[in-house]
Structure 1
Amino acid sequence: MAKDFTVPPVVFPSGGNPTTGGANIQQRRVPTAPFQPSRPSNSGIPFMSFDIGSAAATAPSGTIYGGPIGGASANFDEEEPLLDELGIHPDQIWKKIRSILNPYRVNFVVHKDSDLSGPILLYMSFCLFQLLAGKLQFGVILGWIVVSSIFLYVVFNMLAGRTGNLDLHTCTSVVGYCMLPVVILSALSLFMPHGGIVKFVIAAVFVLWATRASTALIVSLADGGDEHRGLIAYACFLIYTLFSLLVIF
């Protein structure tokens, strides 16, 4: 036996039944967005009721196209070159390297502004020539460079005392630029026979070249080293002898 359920009648706010089809049925209006323009009767495409040509003519061209692009190009032209922003000056590096070529007339004026760009270039060249000779010594050379700079810095300041004004940055720059004779020696060793007294004599000449150049630079750039020139030269001689041993053996 089926059970009957009592369903309450549905009352619409309009006061009528939608299924009856009476005149009280109200059609729902689709709301329009507040930013949506009204559609004119003479335009068949929505949102195209305005005149593009007149809008482009009335708008100032500098604010749309000329302003940002022109300003960006002007700012880009005023930017410094990338090498100058990194502190790398090729012309100064070349002047400092060229001053080392003559050990009797070292121009210490160009070495007053110490930098590490030139020494890094010479260190990488030395490592490259050693690699071409079949010697993988990147870590050894880097370690000896750091130890040599600290060693020469400590020795000079101990000798000069309170009058010494040699900082570690200047000392590293001088030791690096005076590596030029050792770099040339490593390049020449690729064409020289292994062993023999000739290679030792050539290495001794290049070591004396580097020693004289570094001693002259340190004494000229720092105060209090004139009376200790011999001891400073001995310390520089030990440093570049170690690097020349890497080339010979």
Structure 2
Amino acid sequence: MWQENNNLYASSSSQGQYYGQAGASQPGVPLQFYAPSPVGSTFYPASRSSLDGNVGAQGTISQQGAPAYGGNIQPAGGWWTAFGTGGLEGEPPLLEELGINFTHIRAKSLTVLNPFQRVDERIMDDADLAGPLLFIICFGTFLLFSGKPQFGYIYGVGLLGSASIYTLLNLMSEKGIDAYRVVSVLGYCLLPMVGVGALSVMVTLDGMVGYVLSILSILWCTWSASTIFVAVLRMSDQRLLVAYPVGLLYGCFALLSVFNVGANK
């Protein structure tokens, strides 16, 4: 018993001597086996220096002995940056991915506004409905401001007329055309009629001036649409046969712009 107590106290005294020597040898250090790393050294002393990398100011990551991978990070802009993909290289604009290309809309609109120029037969290879929808909405809005809410008639006449023109063109031509391009051509060629609808806000079209303007817009729209259809389908010998049903369709739109259809009297 006495020996066990002596051994216990002896071991305690030896441990105390050990910790005492450690504390005496290095004052200010809590434990001998723990040594704080100097400032600027790595956490693992055995880490390889070849893996130490530097991050550049523009997002360029480079390593010693390895090729650099660089890229520019675009700064955050205003709310309009949500409609583009300027921060991604090789990506088209977001509106173009949605089928809205203002360059194509402008080119096709200028073709309609200048019907006497030569039309490229490949003008409708990249057909779209963004421009036609814009023109139809503007036409209905102008008629609404003039006291003629005709949205239902506009969509009904446009749908029935487009289906009829599509059927006739595929029966008359050998090449054929799809309904998407038919609607695109008819919608773009509605642009002169949109101008008449804008005039109806300021001038009453139920008179001689309105009749003359409506007839001129019908002829303009019919000439432009028939020119594009003839150029695309190569039907130059059937120009009048194409223009006749197209003129009837635009005549319905002119009646909607002159008269208040369905008005209570």
TM-score over 0.5 for the alignment?
yes
3-state SS of paired residue (1:227): helix
CA distance in 2, matches of 1:118, 1:194: 26
* Number of residue pairs aligned between Structure 1 and Structure 2: 203
Residues 210, 240 of structure 1: 8 Å contact kept? yes
Gap change, CA 1:52 and 1:138, over 3 Å in 2: farther
Aligned to 2:41: 54
CA distance in 1, matches of 2:228, 2:133: 18
Q: Counterpart amino acid of 1:201?
A: V
- Choose the corresponding residue for 2:101, options 83, 89, 98: 89
Using structure 1 for the length normalisation, give the TM-score. Answer: 0.70
Unaligned runs of 5+ in 2: 1-28, 44-48, 62-68, 75-85, 260-265
CA distance in 1, matches of 2:190, 2:205: 22
Aligned to 2:250: 240
- Choose the corresponding residue for 1:230, options 217, 240, 255: 240
Gap change, CA 1:175 and 1:50, over 3 Å in 2: farther
Aligned: 1:116 with 2:129: yes
Residues 211, 237 of structure 1: 8 Å contact kept? yes
Question: Which structure is richer in relative contact order (CA contacts within 8 A, separation 6 or more)?
Answer: 1
Using structure 2 for the length normalisation, give the TM-score. Answer: 0.66
- Choose the corresponding residue for 2:110, options 61, 74, 98: 98
- Choose the corresponding residue for 1:127, options 122, 131, 140: 140
Aligned: 1:202 with 2:195: no
Gap change, CA 1:104 and 1:61, over 3 Å in 2: same
Residues 100, 106 of structure 1: 8 Å contact kept? no
Q: Counterpart amino acid of 1:239?
A: L
**Residues 24-173 of structure 1 aligned to structure 2 (within 5 Å):** 42=30, 53-55=40-42, 59-62=52-55, 67=61, 73=73, 76-78=87-89, 79-109=91-121, 110-160=123-173, 163-173=174-184
Q: Counterpart amino acid of 1:206?
A: S
Question: Deviation of residue 217 (structure 1)?
Answer: 0.8
CA distance in 1, matches of 2:217, 2:39: 79
Identity %: 33
Q: Counterpart amino acid of 2:155?
A: L
Question: Deviation of residue 70 (structure 1)?
Answer: 6.2
CA distance in 1, matches of 2:205, 2:245: 28
Aligned to 2:20: none
CA distance in 2, matches of 1:60, 1:227: 73
Residues 193, 217 of structure 2: 8 Å contact kept? yes
CA distance in 2, matches of 1:194, 1:181: 15
CA distance in 1, matches of 2:218, 2:172: 23
Gap change, CA 1:123 and 1:70, over 3 Å in 2: farther
Gap change, CA 1:177 and 1:51, over 3 Å in 2: farther
Question: Deviation of residue 140 (structure 1)?
Answer: 2.6
Residues 191, 221 of structure 2: 8 Å contact kept? yes
CA distance in 2, matches of 1:193, 1:141: 20
